[in-house]
Amino acid sequence: MNEISAIEAVLYDISAYVVERYGQRDSLVVSTKASPTDFLTEVDITVQKRIVEQLMDIFPADVLIGEESGLDYFKGSPPSRCWMVDPIDGTQNFLRGLFPEFGVSIGFLVDGNPVAGGVLFPVSQDLFLAERGSGTFRNGKRIHVSQVASLEKARVDIDFGALSYRHNYRKHAEGLLNVVGQVRSYGCSVMGFCQVADGQQDAYIPFNVKPWDVAAGMLLVQEAGGVVTSFQGEAVNPFVSEKIGIVANAQLHPLCVELLGIME
């Protein structure tokens, strides 16, 4: 089994469990992590455990990095072959959302760069898959970023994240907020990436994302014709996820860099 086939199989395998537990979310055991709104549930832990077990059974020599259970730390240079797992991206939405805006993400990297990735939204059963050089697909149909070239006509997801650093970034986003036609904030990084890849929105501006938030998503966008960079327009990869700030179609990307490139 190759990497993209494994990603698809593992995501579908975990889907029924996530949907079942979403229906039982009022009875879940919930704790907090870095902030009062940074939630952790038993579902996050179980999903990651199952994904890790399946991937390690297929690729026992590979390195695996995940958001939970102590797998979020690694030493040294990026490993040659590495998996990054986000068991539930959008846990806040999983627990409290009327709409199921959360996803499960798996990215496979070689020498620090994503070469295969997938995101599944379990409730809607929308599956996004991409391989380096082969395009991006939603439920088997090839997708592309939008062609919107004007910020005044654009729909943009701006994710300020936790309160602890929101004030620092708000002033940097002011120029963009003053000109963008539609602003959204879904609170789910993988949804931001997937919506740009599918042309459902035109840009996604995240602040302080983690490696597992972006490992699959950035490949989905790039293979759909979009651009993922730092605020200054520099090349990035998941191991420097803290630099990632602009996810956009090719027309809007330079406009976003012009407005947000002052970020230090």
Tell me if residue 176 falls in helix, strand or coil. helix
Residue closest to 196 by CA, chosen among 137, 154, 249? 249
**Residues 177, 108 share a domain:** no
Same domain, 222 and 162: yes
Q: What share of the chain is helix, strand, coil (3-state, %, to 5)?
A: 40, 25, 35
Provide the domain limits for residue 114. Answer: 3-143
Last residue of a domain, one of 95, 120, 143: 143
Average pLDDT for 147-153: 97
CA angle (65 as vertex; 62, 67 as ends), nearest 5: 160
Kindly state the tokens that stand for 27. 């009875």
Distance CA 233, CA 86 (A): 26
**Quick check: 48 pLDDT over 60?**
yes
pLDDT band at 84 (very low <50, low <70, confident <90, very high): very high
Pair (51, 111) in one structural domain: yes
| Same domain for 234 and 158 | yes
For range 250-254, the mean pLDDT: 97
Say whether pLDDT at 112 is over 80. Answer: yes
CATH code, domain with 139: 3.30.540.10
Of 33 and 86, the one with more pLDDT:
86
Mean local confidence (pLDDT), 193-221: 95
Which of 96-100, 172-176, 239-243 is least confident? 96-100
Same domain, yes or no, for 138 and 7? yes
155/137 same-domain check: no
pLDDT grade for 29, boundaries at 50, 70 and 90 = low
Domain end residue (candidates: 123, 143, 163) = 143
**Higher per-residue confidence, 247 vs 177:** 247
Q: Are 236 and 109 in contact (CB under 8 A)?
A: no
DSSP code of 2? -
Residue 37 predicted with pLDDT over 50: no
- SS3 assignment, position 228: strand
Last residue of a domain, one of 95, 112, 143: 143
Number of domains into which the chain is organized: 2
pLDDT for 263 beyond 60: no
Residue 4, pLDDT score: 97
Would you place residue 40 in the very low, low, confident or very high pLDDT band (cuts 50, 70, 90)? low
| Residue (of 53, 73, 62) closest to 3 by Cα position | 62
Nearest-10 crossing angle of helices 42-58, 3-23: 160
In this prediction, residue 205 carries a pLDDT of 95
Q: Check residue 155 and give its pLDDT.
A: 97
Whether 74 has a pLDDT exceeding 70, the answer reads no
Q: Please tell me the predicted confidence (pLDDT) of residue 223.
A: 98
- Specify the range with the lowest mean pLDDT, choosing from 11-15, 26-30, 90-94, 163-167: 26-30
Length of the chain (residues): 264
Instruction: Kindly state whether residues 164 and 252 are assigned to the same domain.
Output: yes
**Entry pTM:** 0.91
Over residues 131-158, mean pLDDT:
97
Q: Verify that 80 and 164 share a domain, yes or no.
A: no
Smallest CA-to-CA distance from 241 within 70, 105, 43 is with 105
Q: Are residues 156 and 246 in the same domain?
A: yes
Residues 148, 142: Cα–Cα separation, whole Å: 19
Percentage of residues in the chain with pLDDT exceeding 70? 88
Bigger pLDDT: 37 vs 30 = 30
